[in-house]
Amino acid sequence: MIFSKIIGTGHYLPSRMVSNEELSRTLDTSDEWISSRTGIRQRHIAAADESSVDLAQRAAERALAAAGLQGSDLDLIIVATSTPEHIFPSDASQLQQRLGCRPIPAFDMQAACSGFIYGLVTADNFIRAGSCQRVLLVGCDVFSHILNWQDRNTAVLFGDGAGAVVLGASPTPGILSSVIYSDGQYCNLLQVPLNVGTAENQRSQRQPYVEMSGSEVFRRAVSALADLVTELLAKAELRPEQLDFLVPHQANARIITATAKHLNLPLEKVIMTVAEHANTSAASVPLALDVGIRRGQIQPGHRLLLEAFGAGFTWGGCVVQY
Ligand code: COA
């Protein structure tokens, strides 16, 4: 049997940091409101000429270095993003060129904040099917380009960043269980309408922005993630206390705490980066994973539960043996 294992990780954050206090100079908000409701204290914001491919490249180079590989060693590239540099070519094809890869399959995957988990399940399936040995998976997003900076309901919640993993074929399992879902009945609760597929876009000239029913998203996320983690552990035949770390999507500290509480996990077993990075969408989980590894919290052999929830709604997770 062939399995897939994470053999290298990396992340990249744009150099500019924006604090809650800085945001409160132009928005009717406060550090107190943002940090108490979300746990966010600051976020990184890309430079005007910095795209999701630029962020992806830096994270990917670090993940490849950690795996001891070069771009030419890769068999497949998947980039999870909702903010590609172009409608086409994909971020993945642009990244392939920048990393000096051979002709190999490369494609973007769009499942909003769950994109990295969708990518992980896809990469795992490619490797277990025997069609690839080494896969680069990047989650990257530049939400600062799709935020309405006058809307305090959304502008305070997001940041820019990229996280990457390299997966390699392995005789022992690295992904112990995985589950992904979508429920399209909730499409309009969290969206960035673009209408590029309709003639309306030609007429409206409307800037696409994040629109969200925050409290409804919050409620559904807490309930879906509770069911998800229970299902993931059952599939992996593990009890919560056998997990070393929860590596959750970093949207809101209160959602993360609710999931940890459902699992009866102490907060020392939760990787939390939401205070420093805010919600970086598809980058959020691999970014937190790499931070946990580079801080020395996550060690080889540890059992991790990765999960995410986002627009669609989409949600999913994997139990990983690192
Ligand atoms: N600063 C100050 N006040 C704000 C604000 C801000 N940045 N944003 C909203 N408010 C106000 C609202 O206007 C509302 O005022 P009102 O009561 O006078 O109408 C009040 O704060 C409460 O808003 P509410 O939406 O009920 O707050 P909340 O406790 O639900 O927290 C979120 C709001 C957005 C933080 C929370 O709902 C959330 O995190 N939702 C999930 C978001 C998310 O994770 N999205 C991405 C998923 S991948």
- What confidence tens digit (pLDDT) does each residue in 159-169 have? 999 999 999 99
User: Of these residues, 11, 44, 101, 113, which one is catalytic?
Assistant: 113
pLDDT at 195: 72
Mean pLDDT of the chain: 96
Spatial separation of the C-alpha atoms in residues 224 and 219, rounded to whole Å: 9
The response to whether residue 24 sits with its C-beta less than 6 Å from ligand 1 reads no
140 is catalytic: no
The response to whether residue 220 sits with its C-beta less than 6 Å from ligand 1 reads no
pLDDT at 205: 63
302 is catalytic: no
**Quick one: the chain helix, strand, coil %, rounded to 5?**
40, 25, 35
The response to whether residue 145 sits with its C-beta less than 6 Å from ligand 1 reads no
pLDDT confidence tier of residue 200, bands split at 50, 70 and 90: low
- Tell me how far the alpha carbon of residue 152 lies from the centroid of ligand 1, in angstroms: 8
Confidence check: pLDDT of 276 > 80: yes
From 252, 255, 309, give the residue whose CB has the most ligand 1 atoms within 8 Å, as the site to mutate.
252
Tell me 3's DSSP state. E
279 is catalytic: yes
Spatial separation of the C-alpha atoms in residues 201 and 67, rounded to whole Å: 43
Mean of pLDDT values over 135-154: 97
Spatial separation of the C-alpha atoms in residues 73 and 67, rounded to whole Å: 11
- Tell me how far the alpha carbon of residue 213 lies from the centroid of ligand 1, in angstroms: 9
Confidence check: pLDDT of 318 > 80: yes
pLDDT at 162: 98
